[in-house]
Amino acid sequence: MVLSKTALTSDDSIHSTFASRYVRNSIPRFEMPKNSIPKEAAYQIINDELKFDGNPRLNLASFVTTWMEPECDKLMMESINKNNVEMEQYPVTTDLQNRCVNMIARLFNAPLGDGEAAIGVGTVGSSEAVMLAGLAFKRLWQNKRKAQGLPYDKPNIVTGANIQVCLEKFARYFEVELKEVKLREGYYVMDPEKAVEMVDENTICVVAILGSTLTGEFEDVKLLNDLLVEKNKKTGWDTPIHVDAASGGFIAPFLYPELEWDFRLPLVKSINVSGHKYGLVYAGIGWVVWRTKTDLPDELIFNINYLGADQPTFTLNFSKGSSQVIAQYYQLIRLGFEGYRNVMDTCHENMMVLKQGLEKTGRFNIISKENGVPLVAFSLKDSSLHNEFEVAEMLRRFGWIIPAYKMPADAEHVTVLRVVIRDDFSRNLAERLVSDFDKVLHELDMLPSGIHANMANGTVNGVKKTAEEMQREVTSYWKKFVENKKTNKNTITK
């Protein structure tokens, strides 16, 4: 099945002006060409099309790293042809991955003795990491229920409605009921008390999020742990906690070292983190670490010998590149604790510059907290004339990619804009962004009242339109409005 929404056009060929120096015939758009073409032409054709992608540094929707040092780029390119799973052939790469696992486990205060190896694995992002952790919890729960002679066919997982889609995928793919604590206006993370109330004998774990995708806020893992300890005592259950620290795992240890959210809490049995977010590596690397060896069932680990030696493997995929693993090791030893702390401090400072600049406009309510992932989530104080989706659409004219979205249940009536502050987002960019917000809001304010009415009810000339269609209509209307102003001005001058 092809998960593609690319529309077939009347012209199903690709034409390139500059590539015609090497090849004169066009190539099919949706079929493999019959003949080869020069490497220069292939490069130019693809390069021309890619110019229409957004600028990664101005993509403020993404948490994913978009800049690394040239030395690390070089290391990645030199190792791009190594298959990470071939441990016998690339023993040093395997050793570097093991070092990363041990560094991260100790960063998260895993209870390891002197010389004791940590339990964990590198993954393709936090999505795979979350699923591996979930499978471990499910299997441990099933094994215990079987031993007790109890039903084990209806496992569930408790989390907040602010989860990232990877948890929804886990629940659906691996047939686990997802029990979500609903949000409410002004409280956009999981309420620990409500979460513990939803726990029952079939709950394989409670998932807490250290760095909500929606607002960047850290959930109160310490309170969740304490409440769950009390419930486990009363019920005789041993419901554990998994911490999805995809965004916050490389932030909290450096900015908030006293915050208890990790293996210092007895019920936290596993933690995942994205190396490609604030771990400062390009996309394609995540990590999951377990508290102890007993928290990862042996039957989930496969042993293979057809790559040259006996080796264990616990991943959903098999082959994957070594580049990101090597890049993670580079960042860990290059920056060290001090370097990571400096980067996170700078991100937080630039977040405050942006937050204060937006507040000075007098047009926004800030929803995000100052403590958490360095991002600013905010909404319009007055959305009667124009909404957050229109603001986001207009900002694209300046190159900014900023998401607008509605909150999950039960806060769907709240719409926010969100700007993620990464390592490559400078103070100058923050100040420029505030200036561009001012320009966009001024332009939207100048639109005639008739178009505002259409925006409010989602219609154009009485015809109901989707949000995407409305955004295109607004942009088109604004262009015509500006052109008419220019024409009228020129006429008067003459």
CB neighbours of residue 211 within 10 Å = 29
491 pLDDT tier (thresholds 50, 70, 90): very low
Based on the fold, state whether residues 41 and 140 are members of the same structural domain: no
pLDDT of 451 strictly over 70:
no
Mind listing the pLDDT tens digit for each residue in 262-283?
999 999 999 999 999 999 999 9
Amino acid at 274: S
* CA 342 to each of CA 335, 369, 478: distance values in angstroms, whole numbers, following the listed order: 9, 20, 43
How many Cα atoms sit within 13 Å of 96 on the Cβ side?
A: 19
* Residues 382, 386, 390, 395, CA torsion sign: negative
CATH number at residue 26: 4.10.280.50
Mind listing the pLDDT tens digit for each residue in 134-177?
999 999 999 999 999 999 999 999 999 999 899 999 999 999 99
CATH number at residue 210: 3.40.640.10
* CA 2 to each of CA 5, 6, 50, 284: distance values in angstroms, whole numbers, following the listed order: 9, 10, 22, 22
User: Is residue 321 one of the residues assigned to a domain?
Assistant: yes
End-of-domain residue from the set 303, 335, 367: 335
7 pLDDT tier (thresholds 50, 70, 90): low
332 pLDDT tier (thresholds 50, 70, 90): very high
* Per-residue model confidence (pLDDT) at position 479: 63
Based on the fold, state whether residues 295 and 226 are members of the same structural domain: yes
The dihedral region occupied by 251, where left means phi > 0, alpha psi between -120 and 50, and beta the remainder, is alpha
Based on the fold, state whether residues 92 and 129 are members of the same structural domain: yes
User: Is residue 348 one of the residues assigned to a domain?
Assistant: no
* Per-residue model confidence (pLDDT) at position 85: 78
Based on the fold, state whether residues 121 and 33 are members of the same structural domain: no
User: Is residue 223 one of the residues assigned to a domain?
Assistant: yes
* Per-residue model confidence (pLDDT) at position 314: 82
Based on the fold, state whether residues 196 and 105 are members of the same structural domain: yes
Please give the residue range of the domain that contains residue 284.
Answer: 73-335
Q: Closest Cα partner for 148 from 198, 197, 205, 201?
A: 201
Give the integer Cα–Cα distance in Å for 218 and 226.
Answer: 16
Judge whether 126 and 120 are in contact, CB under 8 Å. Answer: no
Query: What is the DSSP-derived secondary structure letter of residue 6?
Result: P
User: Is residue 261 one of the residues assigned to a domain?
Assistant: yes
Task: Give the lowest-confidence range in 14-23, 50-59, 427-436, 448-457.
Answer: 448-457
Based on the fold, state whether residues 162 and 279 are members of the same structural domain: yes
Give the integer Cα–Cα distance in Å for 434 and 217.
Answer: 22
End-of-domain residue from the set 335, 354, 379: 335
Based on the fold, state whether residues 301 and 200 are members of the same structural domain: yes
Greater pLDDT, 484 or 298: 298
Mind listing the pLDDT tens digit for each residue in 194-206?
999 999 999 999 9
Based on the fold, state whether residues 112 and 27 are members of the same structural domain: no
In the three-class reduction of DSSP (H, G, I as helix; E, B as strand; rest coil), residue 146 is classed as helix
Number of domains observed in the structure of the chain: 2
Based on the fold, state whether residues 171 and 25 are members of the same structural domain: no
How many residues are there in the chain? 494
Helices 467-493 and 388-395, axial angle in degrees (round to 10)? 60
Based on the fold, state whether residues 17 and 145 are members of the same structural domain: no
* Per-residue model confidence (pLDDT) at position 307: 52
Mean pLDDT of the 93-103 span: 95
Q: Closest Cα partner for 365 from 384, 351, 382?
A: 382
